[in-house]
Amino acid sequence: MSRWEGNTRVRLLDAALELFGEREYDSVTVAEIAERAGLTKRTFFRHFSDKREVLFAGQEMLSRILAEAIADAPAPATPIEAVAAALQAATTPFGPQRRDRSRLIKAVIAGHSDLRERELLKLATLRAAMADALRARGVAAPTAALAAEIGGLAYSTGFARWVAPGSEREFADLVAEALDELMAATTALG
């Protein structure tokens, strides 16, 4: 087992997904994931606190991307324009290989209530990062919260469409489309 090979987190994720596909999520151990990845259990715990967190890797980075993109939006941007810029920045790393992994992750999460709960927490964290960044731009708290909620809903709607069976469209396009639909719906509210 080579300690110094690159892509350790990706190797652990791929090993976990292989094992989760072969057997039930609950029956797979951290030691088995590490062994499948050609790593040690100790290396696993340097990267993840438990096997559940393998499925949610990258949340901190995604929150940071969203917040930084909102902060970097042009000064005259409306709150929703800043959120739109953040969503576009956050979807950039989502390519074809990521879609296949995301479909597998989604299937594992769908079968476990504790993982679905963790997914909801992840989405709440992303919305909070957007709301905080908007407030830092001087947006009033209620407006920041609403824009972040709309952004979070656009993100999750676009993601669901992106991982749907047979979907080949780009994640960024699906999120932008979902945001446009949501903005049209808010206008229709009166």
For 84, counting Cβ atoms within 10 Å of its Cβ (0-12 exposed, 13-18 middle, 19+ buried), the class is: buried
For residue 2, the model assigns a pLDDT of: 46
For residue 92, the model assigns a pLDDT of: 84
For residue 29, the model assigns a pLDDT of: 96
What distance in Å separates the CA atoms of residue 165 and residue 158, rounded to the nearest whole number? 14
For residue 60, the model assigns a pLDDT of: 86
Q: For residue 76, what is the DSSP state? A: T
3-state helix, strand, coil in the chain (%, to 5): 75, 0, 25
For residue 5, the model assigns a pLDDT of: 54
For residue 185, the model assigns a pLDDT of: 95
Flag residues of the chain having pLDDT under 70: 1-6
Which pTM value belongs to this model? 0.88
Domains, the chain, ranges and CATH?
A: 8-54 (1.10.10.60), 59-188 (1.10.357.10)
Q: Which amino acid is at 80?
A: I
